[in-house]
Structure 1
């Protein structure tokens, strides 16, 4: 995906392969000795099948279509497990979840969030995380979590 400024920012396109993503999470869970229960896997599959961030209550509604008795705590426990293990990301500014493009490695990445269509693009460039870490270190600050969300309008929406 060539774009202006490609020599400055190194991103790579992600192909939306929900099944491949779920298989990668299953493999990572097995390798780490984690228990990916059927419900956790189902929540993961729902998130992976979306083409944009999804909110917890939308997940709950989808689960209730199949399991009429699904309750909010059940969804939140599954989300907590998936977040804690780096399989999904939470976009705090819109209170929604997206699958992680690299479920087998711990990392912090910024997101570009379109305010028109609600799409979110994970920016996979270690320099951004490294720069934030270096700045924090220069101030004697030890970060424990990092979420960088940039809001604007995506290329597709700019064309319309």
Structure 2
């Protein structure tokens, strides 16, 4: 999320969402969220730690992981498992929490690493229907699709 105004709006929505849930977006959590949001692509915990150390020299891995756990729990970010990295949730202001109550899938570019979160309910329904036919109860589902983004394909 490169746009500063959009990032500030997302931070304000995140703070409001936390307040609605009785949680606190502490300055550290807010800073980690801002670092995730300003990244051009999904960002790993140690890259976040390196950026965080610029303003918090004593920051250590547990500091970042605790903040990331909170942000994940409150639906403010997602973990892109394939990349072992984090991306801001494109649906932060809608009140979902830990289980990410909106459908989400990720399109990951193999060339540039750009990752786009999409929320296609049809994909979610297809997975749920297939699971039901197999007698499987879904606890959590994240779809990660690798390919080439439009910008790389055009280049």
Alignment of 1:42-121 (within 5 A): 42-103=31-92, 104=94, 105=96, 106-121=101-116
TM-score with structure 2 length normalisation? Answer: 0.89
Structure 2 Cα separation of the partners of residues 77 and 86 of structure 1: 14
Stretches of structure 2 lacking an aligned partner (at least 5 in a row):
none
1:41-84 deviation per Cα after TM superposition (whole angstroms, max 9, x unaligned): 11001111112111110000000111111000110011011111
- Tell me how large the CA RMSD over aligned residues is: 1.5
1:120-145 deviation per Cα after TM superposition (whole angstroms, max 9, x unaligned): 01112111112212221221211111
Structure 2 Cα separation of the partners of residues 153 and 54 of structure 1: 19
TM-score with structure 1 length normalisation? Answer: 0.87
Match of 1:112, SS state, is strand
Equivalent residue pairs, number = 147
Q: Say if 2:107 and 2:146, in contact at 8 Å, map to a contact too.
A: yes
When you count helix as a share of all residues, which structure comes out higher?
Answer: 2
Structure 2 Cα separation of the partners of residues 75 and 50 of structure 1: 15
Match of 1:65, SS state, is coil
